[in-house]
């Protein structure tokens, strides 16, 4: 039986790596992002003439684009077995200086979009008795890291609750929580938005994607990826709140 996966933010970074790994496993892809030309180039690279991948160009921060993707997920004649909510961006400016329109777009893309798309996908998955949803969150969800961390915390909570509710009915939901990844995400925010960090601080997208797919297959509600962040994550539970706030929050 053919398996289909829909991936948001598929044109670059971690989303592109998910696409590569799933395509190698014979999964048919529905690739979602704003840039149609990049999606088509990726679909052509990963597909074959006899089994081409599908391209769905959409801006998920615009209602019409989001609803078009939701309709695709809910289509009973073209079932989607795996949903990967990966699209995202960050706001560089401090909270007191940021544009409120940017803050709203961030929260809609990082927390509302995964909820809306899961809501579209779950009924069909339950009817078929199987399905995976992998929501890309962040280790920022466990620390006071501003509005980005707040939005990702919502994704972790949503994933845990959906997994608890539906895993016995065959639908597994996982929040994947990576640390720093060397992708376009940070380039788009500006080269100076992070302090100079050693290579050890950066995780590879290949490992993170592989661990995420294994986690949702195993039914884990939350996975911190990769090993260096798994080692550090327990500190968020044992450090005093004021120490954690000082480490996590940038102040002027």
- The set of catalytic residues is 148
Q: Which of 35, 22, 142 is nearest to 84 (CA)?
A: 22
Contact 175, 161 (CB under 8 A): no
Which residues are CB-contacts of 128 (< 8 A; sequence separation ≥ 6)?
A: 79, 81, 170
Written as one string, the DSSP assignment of 47-114 is: -BTTBPPEEEE--TTSHHHHHHHHHHHH-TTS--SEEEE-------S-TTTS-HHHHHHHHIIIIIHH
User: How many whole angstroms separate alpha carbon 160 and alpha carbon 130?
Assistant: 17
Which residues are CB-contacts of 18 (< 8 A; sequence separation ≥ 6)?
A: 5, 7, 10, 84, 86, 134, 209, 212, 213
Longest distance between any two alpha carbons in the chain, whole Å:
58
Contact 33, 111 (CB under 8 A): no
């Amino acid at each position: 039986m053919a398996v289909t996966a829909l991936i948001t933010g598929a044109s670059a970074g971690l989303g592109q790596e998910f696409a590569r790994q799933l395509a190698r496993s014979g999964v048919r892809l529905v690739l979602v992002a704003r840039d149609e030309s990049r999606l088509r180039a990726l679909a052509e690279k990963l597909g074959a003439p006899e089994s081409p991948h599908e391209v769905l160009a959409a801006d998920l921060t615009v209602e019409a684009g989001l609803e078009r993707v939701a309709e695709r997920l809910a289509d009973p004649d073209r079932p989607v077995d795996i949903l990967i909510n990966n699209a995202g961006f960050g706001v560089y400016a401090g909270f007191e200086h940021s544009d409120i329109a940017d803050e709203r777009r961030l929260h809609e893309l990082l927390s509302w979009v995964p909820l809306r798309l899961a809501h579209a996908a779950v009924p069909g998955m339950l009817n078929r008795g199987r399905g995976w949803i992998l929501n890309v969150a962040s280790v920022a969800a466990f620390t006071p890291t501003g509005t980005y961390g707040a939005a990702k915390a919502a994704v972790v909570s949503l994933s845990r609750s959906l997994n608890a509710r539906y895993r016995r009915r065959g639908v597994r939901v996982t929040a994947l929580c990576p640390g720093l990844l060397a992708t376009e995400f940070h380039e788009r925010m500006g080269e100076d938005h992070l302090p100079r960090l050693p290579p050890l601080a950066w995780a590879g997208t290949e490992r993170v994607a592989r661990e995420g797919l294994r986690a949702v297959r195993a039914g884990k509600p939350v996975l911190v990826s990769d090993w260096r962040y798994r080692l550090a994550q327990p500190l968020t539970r044992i450090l005093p709140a004021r120490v954690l706030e000082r480490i996590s929050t940038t102040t002027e």
